[in-house]
Amino acid sequence: MTVTLTAKRTLTASAGGRLNLDNINPHVKAAKYAVRGELAVKAEEYRVKLAQGDKSLPFDSVIFANIGNPQQLDQKPISFFRQVLSLLENPSLLENPEALRTSFGYQQDVIDRAKTLLADVQSVGAYSHSQGAPIIRDSVAKFIEERDGFPANPQDLYLTGGASSGVSTLLNVICDGPSAGVLVPIPQYPLYTATLSLLNAQCVPYHLEEHRAWGTDVNAIRQNLAQAKAAGTDVRAIVVINPGNPTGASLSAEDIKGVLDLAAEEKLVVIADEVYQTNVFTGEFISFKKRLRQLQQEVPGKYDSVELASLHSVSKGMVGECGHRGGYFELVGFDPEVAAQVYKYVSIMLCPPVIGQCLVELMVNPPKEGEPSRAVYEKEYNGIRDGLRKRAFALYEAFQRMEGVECQEPQGAMYLFPTITLPPKAVEAAKAENRAADEFYCLRLLDATGVCVVPGSGFGQKENTLHFRTTFLAPGTDWVERIVKFHSEFMAKYK
Amino acid sequence: MTVTLTAKRTLTASAGGRLNLDNINPHVKAAKYAVRGELAVKAEEYRVKLAQGDKSLPFDSVIFANIGNPQQLDQKPISFFRQVLSLLENPSLLENPEALRTSFGYQQDVIDRAKTLLADVQSVGAYSHSQGAPIIRDSVAKFIEERDGFPANPQDLYLTGGASSGVSTLLNVICDGPSAGVLVPIPQYPLYTATLSLLNAQCVPYHLEEHRAWGTDVNAIRQNLAQAKAAGTDVRAIVVINPGNPTGASLSAEDIKGVLDLAAEEKLVVIADEVYQTNVFTGEFISFKKRLRQLQQEVPGKYDSVELASLHSVSKGMVGECGHRGGYFELVGFDPEVAAQVYKYVSIMLCPPVIGQCLVELMVNPPKEGEPSRAVYEKEYNGIRDGLRKRAFALYEAFQRMEGVECQEPQGAMYLFPTITLPPKAVEAAKAENRAADEFYCLRLLDATGVCVVPGSGFGQKENTLHFRTTFLAPGTDWVERIVKFHSEFMAKYK
């Protein structure tokens, strides 16, 4: 079907229409989003070629290590989640619970959960409350309370279509024009810079400390802040991604305190992107909310003015349900009148996908100890966790074997972000193609091996350094060896 | 659970934080979106009170006639759609097709469709292509071709999270700053004015002709356009909602030609919101795409420069799957470089919900004549269509019985938008409460009857006229009589 239709002559090109590249919204034009850019498009073309039986490529599969998309890379969804969702999609299945049990192994807790959720949302085909279904926000509040040991209020929670739409909402409300600035870590997930571009607001970059496992250096942030202020930027917020994307770093309690101190002193809204909160290999995840509440108890008064927005998602962790577009953010310390504007803003888009909202509920309220689906849930969850860890370290060890490659030990998230030092001849060859050297390297890697990674320039990096980001989601380790082999040939070629 | 958590003291109010109503994004503050405003919030409060057993209200149910949300009002989803979706959510069900057939009545075409979709998307939990899964765009292209008799190209299609996000994308790309203007029908669905507010662009209103069944009057549009141009507005696009929201009007071939003539002469991008295309009672739906292609054949050259973006959705029609957030738009005649910017823009949010994308596929490619699920599909589809028609006319007839109420005969969409003429004393009483008279009327209606409708001021209306919009989705006709009784008491009170 594809072939027939796409082969038809497209009538797209217009003769002298209204819009062209030079008169559309210049902020859309200015926005950059490398994760789905040229490399990703080329990788998809290779995938289609291979699927069509093309034998001309020097590899037999494309490895999409460019994007944290676990289920594209054969990560199996968690059975409990999908069993409940299947009942929500077709509630008439609930009319024959015996057949669900005997023919499909659905347990009673699956059936009960579906009934509970349906009683609240009525139908997953109905619009919900714009902030998200009440029962689901209740579950999220309970999850946050149990995670942090501090209360959470469902009224402060906003369910979203993935964390991305939450970030967009927050930045839309916070930024009031071209002088508004937001501190963004470098390297960063490019959603932040892209959204600030769209809003014509200022990205105020602060560099993470690669030599300290990509931690935050508050003194450096203070310098960037002072420079931005001196240049007339009204810096209003600071973004922290913890665990880090693309860095994989997991922040210490001390680093988090440093950011909150700064926020309290400088009146910065803290946007804590915590979508990788369960992807932690080293130490434990500490939420900004928990740390803030601790500090508010320890030093009464000092942190009362801090405004914090924390984001979470069903896309990452051991859930990995990117395609369902589910997530939430919690507002802490926001003026209720501002929160009302956030509500109005989200209501214009009506509501986040309801089935994604239900998945948020399942994520934050999985089967408990002793419940019938618990054993399988635990086995699947731990299997995914251990697999991620294993592949992260396999990749890390491969990088240690590669000349001119340095990588921090894996701590969390789904990524490694090694530094690469390339020979001058490679840098010249890149220049001749009018490309950044890391982009040149990543393109050659894709062409030679089918492994698609994202150049560091897509995330930002210190001047005169080169990196790339790779996920450690693809199954097996064969593809890691493809990188090792390519790298040694590349280095030999440009020596 | 709700009660315990919401009863806890919220820590929301901050002491002197960064953000307040006067320093957030002024364009967010300026945006208005009445469909989910004060009335909707109050209606939800009444619903919760009733659910908690409150007996103090003068009604025993809330009728949400304010929003086109069919499944909230007990419209049953179409079985074929939901059966397929249940398999997509839990593909392990496919391992026992015999049990699906015997215990749950799943037909072979349900099973086959699920397998076909899964072969393309891999998992509904994986991010898809940012424009939407290829196989689904192929089906949409085929649907458009069959509907219009003219080719469609999957590359020109963008799947969206409901039509709302498509509108947001298009306006974001088209509007380049405060001087950019977009012609918007009055009355209109407030998504358009709200989004233009957010973009700080100009809404250039044009009035629909109530006396001509809410048709378009191109001469009036020309006047508005000339005025806006004279005032320095760079008018770039025209929005047409067909069938109309809130008006319910279905445009004639001649009205559509009038808009396309104007677009060709004045170089206006046409944004055709066609989400109600199957909700037509009178005559047949004609798409802007079809009319454009006809005119391009009839008058070679004249219409070559026309840029058209047509939107559709799974939320309306007989599908009614609002909560799934599925839809698409087609670009016709756009500069490929502009289309590339549209692609980049949507890629920042990664992809629309994949299960919603699959529902788009099912909507445009339902069971065919002779296929096993066809008979049930047809019965359900026609049942919904006939029910909508019946209730539309019941409501229309009730309006004819009401003093001072005039209503156009139902033609399409899910709404009626009657004119109401209120006694001067009622207008004064509204003024005393600092409210528009139609808002006052709608609030009293809600307080007295539990029926929630939206005042005409939420959509825009000619000066010195008053309207309200009601859906005809709620089951039964009891609630219609509630309105009749309230209206007669209201008119008597303020006589």
pLDDT tens for chain B, residues 1 to 495: 233 333 333 444 455 789 999 999 999 999 998 777 789 889 989 998 999 999 999 999 999 999 999 999 889 999 999 999 999 999 999 999 999 999 999 999 999 999 999 999 999 999 999 999 999 999 999 999 999 999 999 999 999 999 999 999 999 999 999 999 999 999 999 999 999 999 999 999 999 999 998 999 999 999 999 999 999 999 999 999 999 999 988 999 999 999 999 999 999 999 999 999 999 988 899 999 999 999 999 999 999 999 999 999 999 999 999 999 999 999 999 999 999 999 999 999 999 999 999 999 999 999 999 999 999 999 999 999 999 999 999 999 999 999 999 999 999 899 999 999 999 999 999 999 999 999 999 999 999 999 999 999 999 999 999 999 999 999 888 899 999 999 999 999 999
Residue A476 carries which DSSP code? S
Closest by Cα among B406, A461, A254 to B398: B406
Closest by Cα among B128, B132, B133, B130 to A69: B128
Considering only residues 118 to 177 of chain B, which have any Cβ-Cβ distance to chain A shorter than 8 Å? 121-130, 134-135, 138-139, 141-142, 151-156, 161-162, 164-165, 168, 172-177
- Cβ–Cβ gap B25/A121 under 8 Å: no
Q: Token pair of A289, please?
A: 């909310």
Q: Tell me whether 0.90 is exceeded by the ipTM.
A: yes
Closest by Cα among B368, B360, B331, B289 to B137: B360
B42 contact partners, CB below 8 Å, separation of at least 6: B443, B446, B452
**pTM of the full structure:** 0.95
Of the candidates A2, A13, A350, the beta carbon closest to that of B134 is on A2
A132-163 burial string, b = 16+ CB within 10 Å, else e? bbbbbbbbbbbbbeebbebebbbbbbbbbbbb
Closest by Cα among B376, B460, B389, B454 to B183: B460
Cβ atoms within 10 Å, residue A370 = 7
C-alpha to C-alpha distance for A347 and B138, rounded to whole angstroms: 32
| 3-state SS assignment for residue B231 | coil
Question: Per DSSP, what are the bridge partners of residue B64?
Answer: B452
Distances (CA, A) of A446 to A56, A66, A382, B47: 14, 11, 32, 57
C-alpha to C-alpha distance for A118 and A374, rounded to whole angstroms: 22
Considering only residues 206 to 225 of chain B, which have any Cβ-Cβ distance to chain A shorter than 8 Å? none
Best of A52, A164, A348, A452 to disrupt the B interface (most B CBs within 10 Å) is A348
- Cβ–Cβ gap A96/B79 under 8 Å: no
Round to the nearest angstrom and report the end-to-end CA distance of chain A.
48
- Which chain A positions have a beta carbon within 8 Å of B126's beta carbon? 69-72, 322-323
B195 touching chain A per CB within 8 A: yes
- Indicate the helix (H) or strand (E) that contains A330: strand A327-332
Distances (CA, A) of A68 to A319, B250, B343: 12, 45, 20
Number of helices (H) and strands (E), helices first, in chain B?
18, 14
Tokens 């409990």, residue located: A80
- Cβ–Cβ gap B12/A353 under 8 Å: no
- Which chain B positions have a beta carbon within 8 Å of A26's beta carbon? 176
Sketch out chain A's domains with CATH numbers.
Answer: 26-62+381-494 (3.90.1150.10), 79-119 (no CATH), 123-364 (3.40.640.10)
Question: Per DSSP, what are the bridge partners of residue A205?
Answer: A184
**CA distance to partner chain A, nearest, from residue B473 (Å):** 13
- Which chain B positions have a beta carbon within 8 Å of A124's beta carbon? 323-324
Of the candidates A121, A138, A331, the beta carbon closest to that of B5 is on A138
Of the candidates B69, B92, B191, the beta carbon closest to that of A348 is on B191
C-alpha to C-alpha distance for B324 and B360, rounded to whole angstroms: 10
- Which chain B positions have a beta carbon within 8 Å of A322's beta carbon? 125-127, 350
Of the candidates A15, A25, A175, the beta carbon closest to that of B172 is on A25
C-alpha to C-alpha distance for B259 and B272, rounded to whole angstroms: 10
- Which chain A positions have a beta carbon within 8 Å of B15's beta carbon? 304-305
- Cβ–Cβ gap B23/A176 under 8 Å: yes
A231-253 burial string, b = 16+ CB within 10 Å, else e? eebbbbbbbbbbbbbbbbbbbbe
Do the beta carbons of residue A243 and residue A273 sit within 8 Å? no
Residue A417 carries which DSSP code? -
| 3-state SS assignment for residue A477 | coil
Report angle CA B260, B262, B264 to the nearest 5 degrees: 70
